[in-house]
Amino acid sequence: GDSVTQMEGPVTLSEEAFLTINCTYTATGYPSLFWYVQYPGEGLQLLLKATKADDKGSNKGFEATYRKETTSFHLEKGSVQVSDSAVYFCALNSNDYKLSFGAGTTVTVRA
């Protein structure tokens, strides 16, 4: 079945550091790929998405490129801020209405 594997956290960074969170997937067909973000005590919000190979999703300085050859969708940000502290989830949806989520990566950015 479909599955997502993302790097384990927690990740702790200083402000203005470079952030990478690795995500790889297993799926039949050609899934859509997503990154969701969860701030403390809240639900998830869509951060970015890509629906086909080589697409790049971007939002709020975050980027991720759909790499079919490596089945990956790594999240990157060049200069993080304290406000980026959150839990980040990689997810995929292949052929129906169900999203498959990774385990989440907790990111803490220190001033």
Where do contacts with other proteins occur on this chain (CB under 8 A)?
31-32, 34, 36, 41-46, 49, 51, 89, 93-99, 101-104
- Count of alpha carbons within 13 angstroms of residue 94, beta-carbon side: 12
Tokens read off for 64: 């991720």
Least separation in angstroms between CB 111 and other proteins: 26
Least separation in angstroms between CB 75 and other proteins: 15
Q: Which is nearer to other proteins, 41 or 111 (CB)?
A: 41
Residues linked to residue 26 through DSSP beta bridges, in sequence order = 3
What is the maximum alpha-carbon separation in the chain?
43
Q: Which is nearer to other proteins, 49 or 74 (CB)?
A: 49
DSSP state of 78: S
